[in-house]
Amino acid sequence: MNIMNVWPLVLAAVTDALNLDWSELSYKRSFFVIKAAAFIAVVFFMTIVVRWWLNRRSSSHYLMGLVVDKYHEPGIVFKFIHSFTWCLVFLSLCFLGIALADPVVFITDTTELTESREVVYIKDVSASNGFRLQNSNVSRGEVAREILEKLIVKRKNKRDRAAYIVFGTQSEIWSGFTMSFESLMFSVSVSPMALAPSAALTTWPGMFIMKKGQFTDSETGGKTNLHLGLESAIYLFDRKGSPKIVEVLKQNPNAKMRSVVIITDGAADVNPEPQFRELRKRRIIPYLIFIDSDRTIEKQLYGENSIQIQLTNQLLMMVRRYGGQYFLAKDRQSVDRISEMLDKFQSIKQAKKTNLKEKEVYFIPLAIAFLFAVAAMAMRAISFLLWRIV
pLDDT tens digit string along 306-319?
Answer: 776 777 888 889 99
Residues forming beta bridges with residue 62, ordered by sequence position = 388
Confidence of residue 66 (pLDDT cuts 50, 70, 90): very low
Q: What is the mean pLDDT of the chain?
A: 77
Residue bearing the bigger pLDDT, 267 or 210: 210
Among 84-93, 116-125, 174-183, where is mean pLDDT lowest?
84-93
Please state the domain extents for the chain: 3-109+357-389, 118-349
Main-chain phi, psi angles of 80, to 5 degrees = -65, -50
The answer to pTM > 0.85 is no
Residues forming beta bridges with residue 104, ordered by sequence position = 26, 360
pLDDT at residue 180 is higher than 60: yes
pLDDT digits (tens, 9 = 90+) for 137-166: 899 999 999 989 988 888 887 788 999 999
Contact of 74 with 65, CB cutoff 8 Å: yes
The span from the CA of 63 to the CA of 78, in Å, is 8
pLDDT digits (tens, 9 = 90+) for 272-295: 999 999 999 999 999 999 988 777
The span from the CA of 95 to the CA of 222, in Å, is 83
The span from the CA of 384 to the CA of 378, in Å, is 10
pLDDT at 61: 44
Confidence of residue 389 (pLDDT cuts 50, 70, 90): very low
Q: What mean pLDDT is predicted for residues 87-93? A: 76
Distance from CA of residue 149 to its chain's centroid? 23
pLDDT at 157: 79
pLDDT at 194: 92
pLDDT at 370: 76
Q: What mean pLDDT is predicted for residues 97-101? A: 71
pLDDT at residue 31 is higher than 80: no
Coil, strand or helix: which one is 380?
helix
With a pLDDT cut of 70, the percent of the chain lying above it is 69
CATH superfamily of this structure's domain 118-349: von Willebrand factor, type A domain (3.40.50.410)
The span from the CA of 356 to the CA of 108, in Å, is 5
Is the four-CA dihedral 273, 275, 276, 282 of positive or negative sign? positive
pLDDT at 63: 44
Residue bearing the bigger pLDDT, 245 or 308: 245
pLDDT at residue 79 is higher than 70: no
pLDDT at residue 328 is higher than 60: yes
Nearest-5° Cα angle at 122, 119 to 127 = 165
Task: Report CA-CA distances (Å) from 335 to 143, 161, 164.
Answer: 8, 23, 19
Task: Report CA-CA distances (Å) from 50 to 40, 45, 54.
Answer: 15, 9, 6
Residues sharing a CB contact under 8 Å with residue 258, sequence separation 6 or more, in sequence order: 117, 118, 119, 237, 241, 245, 249, 282, 283, 284, 285
pLDDT at residue 234 is higher than 90: yes
